[in-house]
Structure 1
Amino acid sequence: MPLLNQTALVLIALLLAAWTTAAAWAVLAARSRLRRAEASQRQARRLSRMIEESPALPLLVRADGRIEGPSRLAGWFGFDAMPGYLSELDDGERGFDEVQLSQLSDAVRRAQKSGAPFRLALRTRGSNRSLGVRGHLADPQVSAGGAALVWFFDFSDSDDELRRLRGEAAEARADFAGLAGLIEAAPLPMWFRGPDMKLRLVNTAYVRAVGAKSAEDVVARGVELVEPVEGVSAQQAARQAQARKSQLERVVSATIDGQRRAVRVIDLPLGEEGVAGYAVDIEEMEELIRQFRRFRDAQRQMLDTLSAGIAQFDAKRNLVFANQPFLRIFAIPQAWVVDTPPFDRVLDRMRDGGRLPEVRDFPEWRRERQGWFLSREPRDEPWHLNDGTHLRVVGQPMPDGGLLMIFEDRTEQLQLSATRDTLLRTRTATFDNLFESLAVFGPDGKLQLWNRRFAGDWALEETFLATHPRADVLLKRIAGQLKRPAQVGTIGHVIQAATLERKQKTGRLALANGRYLEFAGVPLPDGNGLLTVLDITDAQKAEAALRERNAALVEADAVKTRFIANMSYEFRTPLTSIGGFAELLQAGVAGELPAQAKEYVAAILASVERLGEQIENVLDLSQSEAGTLPLAREPVEIFALLTAVVQERAERIATAGLTLDLRGSASVGTVTGDERRLRRAFGQLVDNAIAATPEGGRILVECVRAKGGALQIVVSDNGRGMDSSALARAMEGLKIAADGKTAERRTGLGLPLVRQLVEAHGGTIELMSEPGQGTAAVVTLP
């Protein structure tokens, strides 16, 4: 029993040990499987999580159309849970629309049948989600039976970015096309150079400028627009711009369309891509600049000729120009202006020279003048200097921000204005106090000025005249005062002639009250006309009296002339009888006369001859004064006539103890006139010379042709001569006396008769004499 029990116990123990061992192994195996299961679960969860977080989610589509996929993918489709079949991805509001689902179904079916992979781009309903789709036949280990594995990629953000980039690219292409079109259509020559500085692109303006066929031809031949300047070619200039990494600007000359033009060339580096360039035609601008410079120089030369001082300041308020009057007014040397001093220094210099007005606060006054630069309107103010100079100062702002100051010296003008005011007051006082009636009318016929006498003579009210009536209205008012009212138009014609025709006219009128007025229209320098009216009533009466007296005197003169002519005739008749009887006695008809009787008869004959000459002189003189002297018009040998006159007086000259010198020749020619009266005129001159020359004296008779062809006869003597008063009396035929004693005795009617006869022949006579030197008579005949 114990042995059995022991054996049983051993068996039980072994059984228990084996069971324990098996149990332990089972436990260990179970734990190992559990650990592997947990690891698998963890791996599955990790893979599931990775799939959930992956940007691509799978969808397994079995052959029968059933689908399997993560819930996240169902959310992409817009479902809360994944539908069971592919056809259920379109429920009318979620998933894909009919067209897109059809595309997806067809692509899945092809992949299941042929194994062909596919790619699609789909958009879900009700959202902007964009899905990229890639599908292929599923691996049998994943799903057997021809299932298709479809991967969905959410590229909504990428699609938006892509659309944005596509829009930007489209805009860039449009902008580039527009820019290219603009460059092509630009009137400026433009070009682009590659890294090797050779031309790659040129526009149409470039082609036209160089006269090439096309842009390709220009690029192929490398035709440059600008030729080398100072050894620097266009390519070298572009390389310099690229090396400096900044644009290079040059002004050069180029041939454009066959003409030499000034152009501004700009080379603009574009990094490593090359250099772009363009050329701007500035020929017109350069010409404008040259014209502006010439205009400025001409303007400054003109400003130098002005009397007003001119100072020009630029936008920086520096003095850039001052004309000569400005330098003279402010005593500023030209060299100081060359330094372009600022505005403040110019004012300080003026103040130091005492050429500014006195002000209390000079800095504030100067700041106010500085404000002129910012003003939009010109400033004008007077400056009164200490030396009495009055300046009108004008500050004219310039468009460029500068200032033009004009200094006009009005000192003389103000003085003239004061003088003018004084003259106007003087003229007004004189105007009002004249005895004449005066009125001034303008070119429009209106009354401008009048004096008190004008208003009084025509009985016009001051209130009426103050309205400055027209001439026709004024004349209607005064027409009733005229003796003949219709004659008032004469005054209107005089006013019109003075104001419009600028002519002076006069006239006379009689008033109804018996007064007489004389009026005249005088054009004035200012375009107005002056009407003067003078009361000539007294003068008219005196004139009438003078006319009556003159008529009486004319009648008396005519009576005198007739009396002289009659008396000359009456004297000549008995004188002829006396002369005839004396000649009979001298011839011995009455018997032989004693010697003393013969002397008496000779004296009678001489007196008869002398008296006859005087009667002839009186007759000729009276006829000459009356204008009735008959003259013959025939050629007269003047030298032969003078010779005859001298020979006739040879005995008298010898008896008086005188010598006579006759100069001239027959070459002097002839004159047209009355030989008998010319003989009498020159005979009177020789007789006067004989009578005025003392014994031993000398008489000269000279005949020459003067300049111009006139004939000049001089009869002179070396007698005692006469002073100026005696010379005048001699021309009247009077006896000349000095100190109560007779100095010279000349025939009373001789010189007046000579003057009348010479003037009747169109000639002149001039008598010259000096006391102690003698007398000379110069006769000029045409």
Structure 2
Amino acid sequence: MELTPTALALLGLLLAAWTAGAVWQVVNSMERSRSARSARTMTRRLTRMIDDSPAVPLLVKADGKIEGPERLASWLGLRKLPGFLSELDARDAGMTEGDLEQLRDAVRRTQKTASPFRMVVTPRGSEKSLALRGQLANAAIASGGAALIWWFDFSESQGELSRLRSEKARARNDFAALVGLIEAAPMPMWFRGNDMELQLVNSAYVDAVAAKNAAEVVEKQIELVEKVDGLSAAQIARQALEKNLPIERILQATVGNQRRTLRVSDLPLGTEGIGGYAVDIEELEEQGRAFRAFREAQRSMLDQLSVGVAQFDENRRLTFANQPFKRIFALPASVQIELPQFERFLDMARDKSRLPEVRDFPEWRAELAAWFQAGAPIEDAWTLPDSTHLRIVGQPMPDGGLVFVAEDRSEQLALSATRDTLLRTRTATFDSLFESLAVFAPDGRMQLWNRSFPAIWGLTEEWFDEHRHVDDLLDRIANRLARPAQRKAIGDVVRAATLDRKQRGGRVVLSDGRTLEFGGVPLPDGNGLLTVMDVTDSTKAEEALRERASALEEADAMKTRFLANMSYEFRTPLTSIGGFAELLQSGVAGDLSEQGRDYVEAILSSVERLSTQIESVLDLTQSEAGLLPIATEDVDLLSFLTHVVRSREDAIESKGLTLDLRGDKSAGTVSADRRQLGRALGNLLDNAISATPESGRILVALTRRKSGARIVISDNGEGMKPSELARALDGYRLAGAEGNGGNGGNGGKRGLGLPLARQLIEAHGGRLEVQSEKGAGTTATVMLP
């Protein structure tokens, strides 16, 4: 069958439509497939997002059934999510009974009124905090009035909120405490705003400026600190704020009614303002001044000590050294300017040879440096190369420093050696003395004794080794005394020497007949010395001497009587003879022949000579007996000596002698008996005239000395031997013996001339010295006071 073009066209259109429909269907199917895949992917993504979200949904239907993820069961501590809301309380897990009842009431209210709710629950046995937000579920989610509850785990947020709340409370309390502390602070404190105006002050500030209250201070802007160098307190505070650095200064301010030293500090407080406080350091300053004065006084005192003292600080630097320390270690004066380290000080001392010689000096120096860390004082002894002995003491200080003390003990050691020598010498001296010695302490015990002390009492030396008490000694020697009661006298002497510090003595007789003399002497060290001596022989000799003295006294008395009698017996007959001879010479008995007159002249000459001899003998005897009368007067020496010389002018001219008299008025006067001194000088001059040969020479010299006058009479006669001179001075040379024996024998005229002259000169307080040499002459020197 043949189709028409119209049919073909229709058929083509139909095929095209069918093809287009098929294509559209295929395309639509592919689009739906892509939408389904996209929906599944979105569902999985949303489900995953819900599972990973911090909130978990729970759908509660009208009949109480619940739907939700298992993650909510783990939050509530359940093994799995139950089917009904009432089953969320598992007694040992899940929600508590009260929270569950509150949740059910809120769900019922939401289902009825569509009002949302919020609540917070804590599962049983858990510290989680769960926040619940409930609302009516959308009809697309569930129909029939279901409620949708979102569960949020805000445990961390709750902990943070709790922490913030506690911190807020603590900060509030701290702020209140800080305000109270500032208010109660004993030091003035204040706060300034950005405009540097006072905004807050404490009570101490109010009291310091003598204001009524803090409001008055803020209102009137009363400053505690005055201007210093033209800058006010506010200007200083502004500088601290601009530099954002605290400023501290020490200045004077009036606090109350007193002028005090304050340490003022301004502290920037960010953008809020600036705070400040003032610390009263007046007492600290006074203590500082007192400490500085004490330190200066201490160092001045240390300079006066003989012990060397040096101070090193915690950095081992020399801060002070007194003069003895510098002298001991030969330190230069620059050490007070350039303070050396301890090790450097040792090096300097070593260079001056003021340290002991050691084998390893660095190691030894390190050992000394360890003294800074020592826990106790360290003492050492150093011997320097020049034999100086030092006692070294290192005293560690609490601040880490060291006090170094050096004491020169050379003199002490020398004194100690000398003391030991003296002790040994004293012991040897004690043992070598004839006296028996014992030293007793104030308590009565024996300290020392020599070897003869036990022997004199008849005791053994071993008995004394126990340093016996004086009472024990007295008990032991009581039976050796002739009178035992005398032991008390010995004890009293020991007690007087030790306790009363008085010197006493006594004498005891032993039973064997010996006589002991004892004495107590107080010693400078507080002890007492008891000396005992056997005076038996001296006692016997004393008795003999006493008897002899009595005999001599009797003989002296007899001599005195004899001299008185002899003076009368000699002079009376001699005077009678001379008187009768003068009567005969005057012709009373008639004229005499030439030979008779010669006899009478011879008698008168002999009477004169005998009178002189008798007078010399009597004067010499009285002088030796101390009975010679001396009547002193002021005597001009030059004129007096001239008169003595001129009275012997005839004798000098008869022998053709030359006499040289030397002297002047400067010799002055002396207090003397003119007659007796004239006899003494005349005897010396007569002896010189007799001893000088014809045409000889005699010198008489008068000089003044500081202690008196000196008269020298010398001749160039034959002189005398020493033995002859001794006999002449003792008066052994008799008249007419040995002819002219020089200036001592008086040439056969006066054998008593020299002894009498010496006695007369000594009676005037003077002294006679005679020097003679055989063949060279004799010199007599008279020294008068």
User: So what's the TM-score if we normalise by structure 1?
Assistant: 0.69
Q: Do the aligned residues in 1 keep the contact of 2:447 with 2:467 (CA within 8 Å)?
A: yes
Paired with 2:193 and 2:725, the residues of 1 have a C-alpha distance of 118
Match of 2:26 in 1: none
Match of 1:262 in 2: 261
One-letter code of the match for 1:448?
Q
| Residue deviations 1:288-329 (CA, integer Å, cap 9, x gap) | 333333433443444444444444322112233344444444
Alpha-carbon distance, 1:714 to partner: 6.8
Change (3 A) 1:768 1:469: closer
Paired with 2:638 and 2:606, the residues of 1 have a C-alpha distance of 25
Paired with 2:740 and 2:572, the residues of 1 have a C-alpha distance of 41
Change (3 A) 1:685 1:300: same
Q: Do the aligned residues in 2 keep the contact of 1:681 with 1:753 (CA within 8 Å)?
A: no
One-letter code of the match for 1:267?
D
Match of 2:405 in 1: 406
Match of 2:757 in 1: 751
| Residue deviations 1:14-58 (CA, integer Å, cap 9, x gap) | xxxxxxxxxxxxxxxxxxxxxxxxxxxxxxxx9xx99xx999x9x
Q: Do the aligned residues in 2 keep the contact of 1:714 with 1:776 (CA within 8 Å)?
A: no
Paired with 1:213 and 1:350, the residues of 2 have a C-alpha distance of 68
Alpha-carbon distance, 1:512 to partner: 1.0
Match of 1:222 in 2: 221
Alpha-carbon distance, 1:730 to partner: 8.9
Q: Do the aligned residues in 1 keep the contact of 2:684 with 2:754 (CA within 8 Å)?
A: no
Paired with 2:593 and 2:119, the residues of 1 have a C-alpha distance of 190
Match of 2:20 in 1: none
What is the aligned counterpart of 1:684 among 672, 679, 682?
A: 679
Question: Does residue 191 of structure 1 match 2:186?
Answer: no
Alpha-carbon distance, 1:642 to partner: 10
Paired with 2:708 and 2:353, the residues of 1 have a C-alpha distance of 76
- Structure 1 SS opposite 2:511: coil
Alpha-carbon distance, 1:401 to partner: 0.5
Question: Cα RMSD between the aligned structures?
Answer: 6.2
Paired with 2:699 and 2:602, the residues of 1 have a C-alpha distance of 27
Alpha-carbon distance, 1:179 to partner: 3.2
Change (3 A) 1:207 1:649: same
Alpha-carbon distance, 1:397 to partner: 0.8
Paired with 1:178 and 1:750, the residues of 2 have a C-alpha distance of 124
Alpha-carbon distance, 1:352 to partner: 5.1
| Residue deviations 1:205-257 (CA, integer Å, cap 9, x gap) | 33443444444443333333333333333222222222232222222233334
Change (3 A) 1:578 1:236: same
Q: Do the aligned residues in 2 keep the contact of 1:685 with 1:715 (CA within 8 Å)?
A: no
Change (3 A) 1:524 1:541: same
Alpha-carbon distance, 1:485 to partner: 1.5
Q: Do the aligned residues in 1 keep the contact of 2:702 with 2:710 (CA within 8 Å)?
A: yes
* Structure 1 portions without partners, runs of 5+: 1-45, 58-66, 84-92, 135-150, 672-676, 759-763
Mean Cα displacement is larger for which, 733-742 or 389-398? 733-742
Q: Do the aligned residues in 2 keep the contact of 1:689 with 1:699 (CA within 8 Å)?
A: no
Matched ranges for 1:694-705 at <5 A: none
- Structure 1 SS opposite 2:482: coil
Change (3 A) 1:587 1:420: same
Change (3 A) 1:537 1:768: closer
Match of 1:38 in 2: none
- Structure 1 SS opposite 2:575: helix
Paired with 1:249 and 1:614, the residues of 2 have a C-alpha distance of 120
Match of 1:383 in 2: 382
Alpha-carbon distance, 1:130 to partner: 11
- Structure 1 SS opposite 2:372: helix
Alpha-carbon distance, 1:467 to partner: 1.7
Question: Does residue 540 of structure 1 match 2:539?
Answer: yes
- Structure 2 SS opposite 1:741: coil
Match of 1:479 in 2: 478
Change (3 A) 1:651 1:96: closer
Change (3 A) 1:121 1:547: farther
Q: Do the aligned residues in 2 keep the contact of 1:250 with 1:264 (CA within 8 Å)?
A: yes
Match of 1:290 in 2: 289
Match of 1:394 in 2: 393
Paired with 1:510 and 1:396, the residues of 2 have a C-alpha distance of 64
* Structure 2 portions without partners, runs of 5+: 1-45, 58-63, 70-74, 77-81, 87-95, 134-149, 654-658, 690-695
Number of aligned residue pairs: 699
Paired with 2:419 and 2:635, the residues of 1 have a C-alpha distance of 71
Paired with 1:220 and 1:739, the residues of 2 have a C-alpha distance of 138
One-letter code of the match for 2:468?
P
Match of 1:333 in 2: 332
- Structure 2 SS opposite 1:526: coil
Q: Do the aligned residues in 2 keep the contact of 1:350 with 1:356 (CA within 8 Å)?
A: yes
Question: Does residue 568 of structure 1 match 2:567?
Answer: yes
Q: Do the aligned residues in 1 keep the contact of 2:246 with 2:266 (CA within 8 Å)?
A: yes
Mean Cα displacement is larger for which, 482-491 or 175-184? 175-184
Q: Do the aligned residues in 1 keep the contact of 2:237 with 2:266 (CA within 8 Å)?
A: yes
What percentage of aligned pairs have identical amino acids?
A: 53
Alpha-carbon distance, 1:377 to partner: 0.7
| Residue deviations 1:312-348 (CA, integer Å, cap 9, x gap) | 3221122333444444444443335643333333334
Match of 1:741 in 2: 742
Paired with 2:97 and 2:477, the residues of 1 have a C-alpha distance of 118
Mean Cα displacement is larger for which, 622-631 or 265-274? 622-631
Mean Cα displacement is larger for which, 488-497 or 362-371? 362-371
Q: Do the aligned residues in 1 keep the contact of 2:269 with 2:275 (CA within 8 Å)?
A: yes
Alpha-carbon distance, 1:393 to partner: 2.5
Alpha-carbon distance, 1:519 to partner: 2.2
- Structure 2 SS opposite 1:276: strand
Change (3 A) 1:451 1:547: same
Change (3 A) 1:245 1:600: farther
Paired with 1:229 and 1:724, the residues of 2 have a C-alpha distance of 111
Paired with 1:723 and 1:218, the residues of 2 have a C-alpha distance of 126
Match of 1:138 in 2: none
Matched ranges for 1:174-573 at <5 A: 174-335=173-334, 338-351=337-350, 354-573=353-572
Matched ranges for 1:623-772 at <5 A: 626=625, 638=633, 652=647, 655=650, 678=673, 680-685=675-680, 687-688=682-683, 691=686, 720=715, 740-742=741-743, 745=746, 747=753, 750-751=756-757, 754-755=760-761, 758=764, 764-766=765-767
Match of 1:137 in 2: none
Q: Do the aligned residues in 2 keep the contact of 1:308 with 1:408 (CA within 8 Å)?
A: yes
Paired with 1:357 and 1:419, the residues of 2 have a C-alpha distance of 25
Paired with 1:389 and 1:659, the residues of 2 have a C-alpha distance of 71
Paired with 1:548 and 1:542, the residues of 2 have a C-alpha distance of 10
Paired with 1:314 and 1:739, the residues of 2 have a C-alpha distance of 99
One-letter code of the match for 1:559?
M
Change (3 A) 1:152 1:678: same
Q: Do the aligned residues in 2 keep the contact of 1:505 with 1:520 (CA within 8 Å)?
A: yes
Alpha-carbon distance, 1:615 to partner: 4.4
Paired with 2:770 and 2:743, the residues of 1 have a C-alpha distance of 16
Q: Do the aligned residues in 1 keep the contact of 2:709 with 2:784 (CA within 8 Å)?
A: yes
Change (3 A) 1:654 1:330: closer
Change (3 A) 1:629 1:739: closer
Q: Do the aligned residues in 1 keep the contact of 2:224 with 2:253 (CA within 8 Å)?
A: yes
Alpha-carbon distance, 1:572 to partner: 2.2
Paired with 1:525 and 1:644, the residues of 2 have a C-alpha distance of 60
- Structure 1 SS opposite 2:760: helix
User: So what's the TM-score if we normalise by structure 2?
Assistant: 0.68
One-letter code of the match for 2:757?
L
- Structure 2 SS opposite 1:589: coil
Alpha-carbon distance, 1:275 to partner: 1.9
One-letter code of the match for 1:591?
G
Change (3 A) 1:234 1:595: farther
Paired with 2:518 and 2:721, the residues of 1 have a C-alpha distance of 44
One-letter code of the match for 1:406?
V
Change (3 A) 1:246 1:474: farther
